[in-house]
């Protein structure tokens, strides 16, 4: 079992009448227990085999190579399966519902089965995910991870059906989603990835799939703890306004709350290896008189199922008439609030650009340039510069480019939720193992 540490960064001082407390909770997992190889794991590879994967023919060939690379990256003993997705879902390997442990023989059989894949018919991703759920259900107590690859839109399934299916499969496994080429929708894959606590990314050139699949599979093999939740307890009169993962990417967990006890709710965080993540917790509290102090929330990290507490920290509120204290901005909270705004204005700006709303697109993307510049988000600034001509990065003065490649726009959109870690130590921190 990994060793977890919880640290809380906030300005606990509030002015008289204030009723909102913000804190950034940093959770760090260190692999001090059993090696990752000793943790049971299961992997499902979902490959789009719709007709468009044959245009050009090299695309499906690249997907087969990538799937083979992922199979080769699995640790010995990891249970795995391969699914072909069209307007239905077909189990490619093993031949009957279930999973098989990875070894030399099963890897060879699976790769032979993958080589027989053919592109045909349509796209219904919900069906793919339902079959993945059934396949994972044959494995008890394992780290469960899937990779979903597509090159198109979910055109053979209504949106409300996909939403219903996502409700059924959420919490059953983690899924990283990849779109190859530029004929798929970032928002559609992000919906799936967010529901399944995974990532979304564009692979513009099919020949790059192999390295990406190998990297995703290796990352999945490094996980040690299957299901961990952030538990937030609030006292009488206080309520949680939101809980969001803010690093390494933005993910709103507020609606995913499951009540665990009176005034206590669990927010899923997925599987963990040796890593660190940040969460923004916002709590509404009843305003109190100057000099009053209260515990606004207790934040714990718990193992789902056993309820074992892996780490905990406290969010405090102290009301003061000292403006020097109450106006001090927590750099951690400010940093991630700015990152959330950056992601929002990028998505709004690109949407306005698609609709031909030039004035709105220019204003939103200009704001994004200014935020990226001020926050030191150099990677995002470079992506923005491919969509707009930057006149003044400090003021956010930009001109929309007449011609923007689909790859550049989709890369910016798919990366908009990826955040940059704030330097720690300048704010107030408190926490326990």
Helix (H) or strand (E) holding 281: strand 275-284
Cα(273)–Cα(218) distance, integer angstroms: 11
Q: What is the pLDDT of residues 254-313, one digit of tens each?
A: 999 999 999 999 999 999 999 999 999 999 999 999 999 999 999 999 998 788 999 999
Cα(374)–Cα(395) distance, integer angstroms: 10
pTM over cut 0.85: yes
Q: What pLDDT shows up at residue 227?
A: 87
- Token pair recorded at residue 52: 């468009």
Q: What pLDDT shows up at residue 368?
A: 96
Contacts of 33 (CB under 8 A, 6+ apart): 1, 2, 3, 224
Query: Which top CATH class is 332-415?
Result: mainly alpha
Q: What pLDDT shows up at residue 2?
A: 72
Please report, in tens digits, the pLDDT of each residue of the chain (433 residues total). 578 999 999 999 999 999 999 999 999 998 744 445 667 899 999 999 999 999 998 999 999 999 999 999 999 999 999 999 999 999 999 999 999 999 999 999 999 999 999 999 999 999 999 999 999 999 987 799 999 999 999 999 999 999 999 999 999 999 999 999 999 999 999 999 999 999 999 999 999 999 999 999 999 999 988 889 999 999 999 999 999 999 999 999 999 999 999 999 999 999 999 999 999 999 999 999 999 999 999 999 999 878 899 999 999 999 999 999 998 888 889 888 888 999 999 999 999 999 999 999 999 999 999 999 988 888 899 999 999 999 999 999 999 998 899 999 999 999 998 887 776 654 445 544 4
Architecture of domain 41-224: 3-Layer(aba) Sandwich (3.40)
Q: What pLDDT shows up at residue 433?
A: 41
Letter string b/e over residues 353-376, b meaning 16 or more CB atoms within 10 A of that residue's CB? beeeeeeebbbbbbbbbbbbbebe
Q: What pLDDT shows up at residue 425?
A: 54
Q: What is the pLDDT of residues 146-160, one digit of tens each?
A: 999 999 999 999 999
Letter string b/e over residues 58-91, b meaning 16 or more CB atoms within 10 A of that residue's CB? ebbbbbbbbbbbbbebbbeebbbbbbbbbbebeb
Whether the CB-CB separation of 48 and 85 falls below 8 Å is answered with: yes
CB count within 10 Å of CB 40 equals 14
Cα dist from 105 to 69, 75, 108, 109, 307, whole Å: 15, 13, 5, 6, 39
Domain ranges of the chain: 3-31+227-327, 41-224, 332-415
- Token pair recorded at residue 70: 């992922």
* Domain 3-31+227-327 in CATH 2.60.40.3670: yes
Q: What pLDDT shows up at residue 427?
A: 47
Cα(193)–Cα(130) distance, integer angstroms: 15
């Amino acid at each position: 079992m990994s060793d977890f540490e919880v640290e809380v960064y906030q300005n606990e001082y509030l002015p008289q009448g204030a009723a909102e407390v913000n804190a950034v909770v940093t959770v760090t997992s260190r692999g001090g227990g059993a090696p990752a190889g000793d943790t049971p794991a299961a992997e499902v590879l979902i490959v789009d085999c719709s007709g468009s994967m044959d245009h050009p023919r090299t695309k499906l060939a690249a997907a087969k190579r990538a799937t083979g690379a992922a199979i080769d990256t699995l640790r010995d003993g990891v249970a795995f399966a391969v699914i072909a997705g069209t307007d239905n879902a077909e189990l490619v390997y093993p031949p009957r519902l279930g999973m098989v442990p990875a070894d030399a023989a099963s890897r060879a059989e699976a790769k032979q089965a993958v080589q027989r894949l053919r592109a045909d018919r349509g796209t219904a991703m919900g069906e793919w995910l339902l079959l993945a759920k059934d396949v994972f259900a044959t494995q008890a107590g394992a780290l469960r991870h899937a990779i979903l690859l597509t090159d198109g839109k979910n055109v053979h399934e209504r949106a409300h059906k996909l939403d219903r299916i996502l409700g059924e499969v959420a919490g059953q496994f983690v899924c990283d989603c990849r779109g190859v080429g530029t004929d798929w929708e970032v928002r559609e894959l992000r919906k799936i990835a967010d529901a399944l606590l995974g990532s979304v990314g564009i692979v513009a050139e099919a020949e790059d799939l192999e390295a990406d699949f190998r990297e995703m599979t290796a990352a999945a093999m490094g996980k040690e703890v299957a299901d961990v939740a952030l538990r937030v307890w609030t006292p009488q009169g206080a309520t949680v306004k939101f809980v969001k993962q803010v690093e390494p990417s933005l993910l709103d967990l507020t609606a995913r709350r499951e009540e665990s006890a009176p005034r206590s709710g669990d927010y899923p965080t997925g599987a963990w290896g040796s890593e660190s993540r940040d969460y923004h917790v916002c709590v509404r509290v009843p305003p109190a008189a100057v000099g009053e102090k209260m515990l606004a929330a207790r934040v714990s990290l718990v193992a789902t199922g056993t309820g074992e507490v892996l780490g905990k920290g406290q969010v405090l509120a102290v009301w003061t008439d000292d403006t020097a204290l109450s106006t001090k901005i927590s750099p951690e909270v400010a940093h991630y609030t700015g990152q959330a705004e950056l992601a929002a204005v990028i998505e709004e700006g690109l949407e306005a650009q698609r609709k031909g709303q030039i004035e709105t697109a220019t204003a939103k993307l200009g704001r994004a340039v200014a935020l990226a510049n001020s926050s030191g988000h150099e990677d995002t600034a470079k992506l923005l510069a491919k969509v707009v001509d930057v006149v003044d990065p400090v003021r956010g003065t930009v001109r929309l480019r007449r011609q923007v490649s689909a790859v550049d726009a989709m890369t910016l959109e798919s990366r908009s939720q990826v955040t940059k870690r704030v330097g720690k130590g300048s704010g107030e921190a408190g926490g326990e193992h």
